[in-house]
Structure 1
Amino acid sequence: MQLSISVYKFYRLTVTATCPMNLKLFPMDTQKCQLEIESYGYTANDTKYKFGDNQDPNSAAVAFSPNISLPQFELTYYKVNYRNAVTTSGVYERLSFEVVLTRNLGFYLMNIIIPSILIVTISWVSFWLNREASPARVGLGVTTVLTMTTLITTTNNAMPKVSYIKGLDYFLNFCFVMVFASLVEYAVVSYLNKKMAQQRERRRKLGEQAAPVEMPVFYNHAALKGTMRHDRLNGPRSPHVMNSVDMPPECECRTIPLIQPPRMVPAMGTWPAPFGKVKRPPGPCRACTPAKIDKYSRYFFPITFISFNIIYWAVMWYQSWQVDLEGYVKISNDENKTTMVNTTVAPVTTETPSFSEY
């Protein structure tokens, strides 16, 4: 008589497992968490592990309970598999269960992203304030910078310490640069405004100190005959010498007051000489007035921030979909309940070799 016996062992295990995560796309990241089951002391020649009653990876060996919810993730795909693990002590059969978790953006959108956008928008209010209102503009700029710093610090303290830059770090750091740039903008406006006020005060004082001088101005230049010559010699003398000048009786002339006395020029120069310093044409820097800087900032800052958000969220959304899901099974949602994960695996069957009894 020959008898074949199969021995079944059932174990109820509660496993607390860790999942290594890649946070480069946080908070729009997708994580793959894997749980592996393997015999410690029995090789593949002694035991065979499998999910359910067959080796079909898509079998109903893994059950998901809709009554358990995850606050930050949503269960989307899963995959079960088995393979042989080769070690120095032998070949062992290993069961593998892998689940795909997609992070929910709602919490971070309401607590981090939207407040950051509002803080940046508040910093733009200073562009519409009077540039003479230093306490208001400085106070608004410093407040937004400190608020943004606090938000970044709080967010980083709640996150794992990683050596690379997370996706959210790009957004928060750019928001900080925007609010800091608005504060620097007022510093530039205040400096230029003060410099222009000093120049106006200097010109006013020079105008008060200069004595008024009058000189003739001729309208009928074509009627002037003769030559005009200017001599500059050592020592004081007459401002100009005119030789052989015939003034026609119909020539119209009048006197105008001068802020500064006429400047002496060489004999071959033109007369009358230009007064004061020769004005240069306004360059690009001379045209940057405080009013224009404030006016341009009202458009430059919002356009820059909106453009960054369009590019940032487009790239993040595109990268979040670049996940290899080949061989995974999509988890169907229940009609009345939210599908979440209950990491309960069907009993693992351990088969021992058959033996004969005589």
Structure 2
Amino acid sequence: MAHLSSRVYDDKTVPDAHVKKEMNATWFSHGAIRYNPEIGLPEYHIVSLEHDYCNGDFSCLLGKINLKRAIGFHLVQSYIPTALIVAISWVSFWIDRRAVPARVSLSFTTLLTLSTQGNGIRYALPPVSYAKAIDYFYGGKENIGSDCIGENHILHLCMLFIFGVLLEFAMVNSYMRRANKLNNMAEKLQYNYGRKKIFGMFNAPSEFDSDCEGSPLSINHCDNIDKKSASFLCKSLQYSRRALTIDKASRFVFPSVFTLFNIVYWVYYIHERGADINHR
């Protein structure tokens, strides 16, 4: 969890040319280690400064700098932009389910943006052999293939949410294609029977997307619709309603799961961070 943990840096001063009997280095009694409080690090806060002596035959001064990571820096640079990108992908659930190009473009744009964001974060942090806290936010790391020995590949957890948006749209689009096919079949039957042209589902008012039972279609247009055509159109509307139901459910499920993940993530790491600081 190095990404959110505290750090202790040791600085040793050892005069190797002389043993303790020849030269003994000691700390000042007051203000042994001093620093300018106006100068700081963007990623860390200085918690405390400690001084001690080393063991051995040579006189050695040991200085310790206890640092605490500044969460605000990573919140602004990494976490908030990533969460916003994921949230933008949810706009797809409010776009008309018939607008295929708009929904696909939005999903792939957010996917590529998140990939670029993740690579920037990965290369900005020092390479280590263990998973950092932000790696879990994006998904973790693994070694892939014999040609990539020692190379860490980040699997973005946030990217899985956007990938889930694409899968949701694929399901919605599947229902809409079935609905469109049945709607066209109903129209062809009407022409074959010489009946009056009915409203197509994709040209009808929004109320035609309601459930078939008791809809304006079954009440006001029964005289103009062949029974088989009405059956096809009814199934068409049912598929359309299923697609709409999936969109409405996704508007609640995706934000809820992502919020739950963030709650678990931050509660765990803030607790571990506090325990790590107290231990040090």
Same fold at TM > 0.5 = yes
Identical counterparts, % of pairs: 30
Deviations 1:108-140 (Å, cap 9, x if unpaired)? 222322211211111111111111100111111
Q: Determine if the alignment matches structure 1 residue 295 to structure 2 residue 278.
A: no
Q: Partner residue of 1:188?
A: 171
Measured in 1, the distance between the counterparts of 2:121 and 2:66 equals: 25
Change (3 A) 1:259 1:65: closer
More strand by share: 1
Give the distance between the partners of 1:134 and 1:187, measured in 2 at CA: 10
SS at match of 2:55: strand
CA distance in structure 1 between the partners assigned to 2:2 and 2:111 by the alignment: 25
Aligned residue for 2:60, secondary structure, equals strand
Structure 2 residue 140 is the aligned partner of structure 1 residue 164: no
Contact 1:25 1:168 in 2 (8 A): no
- Give the deviation of 1:66 after TM superposition: 2.4
Is 1:81 matched with 2:52?
yes
User: Equivalent of 1:118, from 67, 84, 104?
Assistant: 84
Q: Distance in 2 between matches of 1:84 and 1:141?
A: 60
Question: Is 1:141 the counterpart of 2:107 in the alignment?
Answer: yes
1:149 maps to a residue whose letter is: S
Residue 45 of structure 1, aligned match among 21, 26, 33: 21
1:205 Cα deviation after fit? 6.7
Closer/same/farther in 2, CA of residues 104 and 146 from structure 1, 3 Å limit: same
Alpha-carbon contact 1:207-1:259 (below 8 Å) kept: no
The aligned counterpart of 2:118 is: 152
| TM superposition shift of 1:163 | 2.6
Displacement, 1:297? 0.6
The superposition leaves residues 273-330 of structure 1 with CA deviations (integer Å, 9 ceiling, x where unpaired) of: xxxxxxxxxxxxx9x922221121111001001101111111111111122657x8xx
Equivalence for 1:305: 258
With over 3 angstroms needed to count, the CA separation of the structure-2 counterparts of 1:299 and 1:324, relative to structure 1, is closer
1:322 aligned counterpart, secondary structure: helix
Equivalent position to 2:94, from 125, 128, 131: 128
Matches within 5 A, 1:261-276: none
Write out aligned runs for 1:1-358 (5 A): 24-26=1-3, 28-52=4-28, 59-85=30-56, 91-172=57-138, 173-199=156-182, 289-323=242-276
* AA partner of residue 48 (structure 1): N
- The answer on whether the counterparts of 2:47 and 2:68 sit within 8 Å (CA) in structure 1 is yes
CA distance in 1, matches of 2:129, 2:34: 37
User: Which letter does structure 2 place at the counterpart of 1:60?
Assistant: G
Q: Which amino acid aligns with 1:296?
A: A
RMSD of aligned alpha carbons: 2.8
Structure with larger Rg: 1
Deviation at 1:92, TM superposition (A): 2.3
Write out the 4+ residue segments of structure 1 that deviate beyond 4 Å after TM superposition: 199-210
CA contact (8 A) 1:126 1:141 kept: yes
Q: Deviations for 1:136-195, whole angstroms, at most 9, x for unmatched residues?
A: 111111111111111111111222222322211222322211112112210121122213
Secondary structure in structure 2 of the residue aligned to 1:321: helix
Q: Following the alignment from structure 2 to structure 1, what is the Cα–Cα distance between the partners of residues 72 and 115?
A: 22
Aligned-partner Cα distance in 2 for 1:325–1:79: 16
Alignment coverage as a number of residue pairs? 221
Q: Distance in 2 between matches of 1:161 and 1:209?
A: 70
Higher helix share: 2
Specify which structure has the bigger relative contact order, considering alpha-carbon pairs within 8 angstroms and separated by 6 or more residues: 1
Distance 2:52 2:278 in 1: 14
Q: For the residues of structure 2 that align with 1:132 and 1:310, how far apart are their CA atoms?
A: 35
Provide the rounded CA distance (Å) in 1 between the counterparts of 2:82 and 2:73: 14
Instruction: Tell me how far apart the structure 1 counterparts of residues 40 and 258 of structure 2 sit (CA, whole Å).
Output: 36
User: Could you report, residue by residue, the CA deviation over 1:217-246 in whole angstroms, capped at 9, with x for unpaired residues?
Assistant: xxxxxxxxxxxxxxxxxxxxxxxxxxxxxx
In the alignment, is the contact (CA less than 8 A) between 2:42 and 2:73 conserved in 1? no
Which consecutive residues of structure 1, in runs of 5 or more, have no partner in the other structure? 1-23, 54-58, 86-90, 211-257, 261-285, 329-358
Question: How many Å separate the matches in 2 of 1:197 and 1:67?
Answer: 67
After superposing the two structures, state which structure 1 stretch, 68-77 or 298-307, moved more: 68-77
AA matched with 2:90: W
